Amino acid sequence: MDYKQALEKLTAAGQEHAMQYYEELTKEQQELLLAQIDATDFSVISSLKDRKEENVRGMITPLAAMQRAQICEREEEFHAIGLDAVKKGKVGAVLLAGGMGTRLGSDNPKGMYNIGLTKEVYIFQRLIENLMDVVKEADAWVPLYVMTSDKNHEATVGFLREHDFFGYREEYVTFFMQEMAPACDYQGKVYLEEKWKISTSPNGNGGWYSSMYKWGVAKKAMEDGVEWLNVFAVDNVLQRIADPCFVGAVISNQCAAGAKVVRKCAPDEKIGVMCLEDGRPSIVEYYELTEELMNAKDENGDPAYYFGVILNYLFRVADLEKIREKNLPLHIVEKKIPYLDAEGRKVKPEAPNGYKFEQLVLDMIYELDSCLPFEVVRNKEFAPIKNATGIDSVESARELCKENGIEL
Ligand code: UTP
């Protein structure tokens, strides 16, 4: 893309200020800026205008979860089915590690955070140790796909290499990068983070499969015989990955997907709950849960919307392929965006100063015909690290690790 084309693209999007420093840039910087303008999709910003429609939801009704008692009754059967799929190389694991982890406040990728007390125990290490349990039991490696972003790719790859992948076989680890989206001020004007660089943010975890596809990683996985992908967040240090019982239950129920869920600890807990939306599997975010839904009861008199998702989903690859081209809803998130002020000086804001745009993995569920909510024991499988202290923090995760006999 040359200067004229770039200016045309920016003008059409109302963003021509992004080239205001062009004349004072070096040749190399000019090229970087032109390449970025070429690659950037500015149309996400126009979603600001349609904001009001963002949260219009269909008719919400309950979707029964497979609860612990039912799972325990058929545990052996599910486990055998799942383990067989793992042994045959049909199950891959996708680590979503492209987020910025801003709430935790570390400059490094979240997985590099050391939660150890008497020794080093990194978040990545905990996840790999959990996955190794299944690898050992199945006597088969589970292909591990790691999604990073422009902001943390090098650090993530470097760290895992430096630590020898914490015992995982390198040939079974594949990295791919997610896309970035421009970040803008409250008027919808993109910020610049350098005179030659538009501010961008990872575009949310919802684009994981299309990024995996664009990188050729999904095709390779299919060629290798992977039929199921277990997608999981970087921050839950207790989660079971490629868990045979979960995999077996989803296969046995012939579902397109499965979602690990936990019983909420309070009706207003900040966790998205599984439901049906216009008859399709879906997730209502906690801030969308009305008083009426919060208090609704199912036919047994139990709370109807009480199973929260923990960002651990199993997807059938054939069904992912069907929805690959679908546009997921865009979520507009207020954020602190570093920027250049009118004098061209770098500013790191203390409070949110604009928007970033994200697609979310939970919106993929609605696109599928079926999804099995699968209950897991909360204190055994859910120790998310979002914050440094308080709720869902390093402190709370350490407590839960201790409770589960994990030495830190
Ligand atoms: P979170 O919603 O907790 O976001 O991500 P975050 O960016 O990690 O943290 P905050 O909100 O800035 O504090 C849930 C999971 O989705 C991944 C994260 O890495 C985490 O595993 N994620 C999030 C991505 O892979 N890409 C994204 O663009 C956003």
What gap in Å lies between CA 86 and CA 247, rounded to an integer?
9
102 C-beta closer than 6 A to ligand 1: yes
Tell me what the mean pLDDT of segment 197-213 comes to. Answer: 96
Tell me what the mean pLDDT of segment 234-262 comes to. Answer: 98
The 10s digit of each residue's pLDDT in 329-384 is 999 999 889 999 989 999 999 899 999 999 999 999 999 999 999 999 999 999 99
Name the pairing type of β-strands 371-375 and 354-358. Answer: unpaired
Tell me what the mean pLDDT of segment 121-132 comes to. Answer: 98
178 C-beta closer than 6 A to ligand 1: yes
235 C-beta closer than 6 A to ligand 1: yes
Nearest-atom index, ligand 1, CA of 384: 3
Query: At residue 168, does pLDDT exceed 60?
Result: yes
Nearest C-alpha neighbor of 207 from the set 256, 165, 149: 149
What gap in Å lies between CA 226 and CA 58, rounded to an integer?
34
54: helix, strand or coil? helix
Diameter of the chain measured on Cα atoms: 71
Give the pLDDT of residue 234.
98
Is residue 401 within 8 A of residue 115, CB to CB? The reply is yes
Tell me what the mean pLDDT of segment 6-17 comes to. Answer: 96
Residue 254 φ then ψ, to 5°: 50, 45
Tell me what the mean pLDDT of segment 201-224 comes to. Answer: 96
Percentage of the chain surpassing pLDDT 90? 89
| Amino acid at the residue 261 | V
Query: At residue 54, does pLDDT exceed 60?
Result: no
Nearest-atom index, ligand 1, CA of 235: 21
Confidence of residue 165 (pLDDT cuts 50, 70, 90): very high
106 C-beta closer than 6 A to ligand 1: no
205 C-beta closer than 6 A to ligand 1: yes
Is residue 359 within 8 A of residue 203, CB to CB? The reply is yes
The 10s digit of each residue's pLDDT in 30-49 is 999 999 999 999 999 988 88
Is residue 147 within 8 A of residue 99, CB to CB? The reply is no
What gap in Å lies between CA 6 and CA 292, rounded to an integer?
50
Structure tokens at 37: 């303008």
What gap in Å lies between CA 229 and CA 368, rounded to an integer?
14
Nearest C-alpha neighbor of 117 from the set 389, 390, 404, 399: 399
H/E stretch holding 93 reads strand 91-96
What gap in Å lies between CA 63 and CA 370, rounded to an integer?
10
Higher pLDDT, 53 or 222: 222
Tell me how crowded residue 367 is: count the other CB atoms within 10 A of its CB.
Answer: 18
Residue 110 φ then ψ, to 5°: -55, -40
Lowest mean pLDDT across 101-105, 221-225, 382-386, 398-402: 101-105
What gap in Å lies between CA 163 and CA 125, rounded to an integer?
9
344: left (phi over 0), alpha (psi -120 to 50) or beta: left
Query: At residue 195, does pLDDT exceed 60?
Result: yes
Name the pairing type of β-strands 180-182 and 200-202. Answer: antiparallel
The 10s digit of each residue's pLDDT in 77-114 is 999 999 999 999 999 999 999 998 888 988 899 999 99
Query: At residue 221, does pLDDT exceed 70?
Result: yes
What gap in Å lies between CA 246 and CA 371, rounded to an integer?
12
Query: At residue 56, does pLDDT exceed 80?
Result: no
CA of 382 to the centre of ligand 1 (A): 16
393 C-beta closer than 6 A to ligand 1: no
Residue 141 φ then ψ, to 5°: -75, 140
| Residue with CA nearest ligand 1 atom 14 | 233
The DSSP output letter for 285 is: -
**Residue 138 burial by Cβ neighbours in a 10 Å radius (0-12, 13-18, 19+):** buried
Give the pLDDT of residue 135.
98
82 C-beta closer than 6 A to ligand 1: no
What gap in Å lies between CA 243 and CA 234, rounded to an integer?
16
Nearest C-alpha neighbor of 206 from the set 314, 359, 367, 309: 359
CA of 205 to the centre of ligand 1 (A): 7
H/E stretch holding 381 reads helix 378-381
144 C-beta closer than 6 A to ligand 1: no
CA of 99 to the centre of ligand 1 (A): 4
Average pLDDT, the chain: 95
Give the pLDDT of residue 57.
85
The 10s digit of each residue's pLDDT in 259-295 is 999 999 988 899 999 999 999 999 999 888 899 999 9
Is residue 25 within 8 A of residue 33, CB to CB? The reply is yes
Nearest-atom index, ligand 1, CA of 387: 13
| Residue with CA nearest ligand 1 atom 5 | 99
Confidence of residue 197 (pLDDT cuts 50, 70, 90): very high
Confidence of residue 53 (pLDDT cuts 50, 70, 90): low
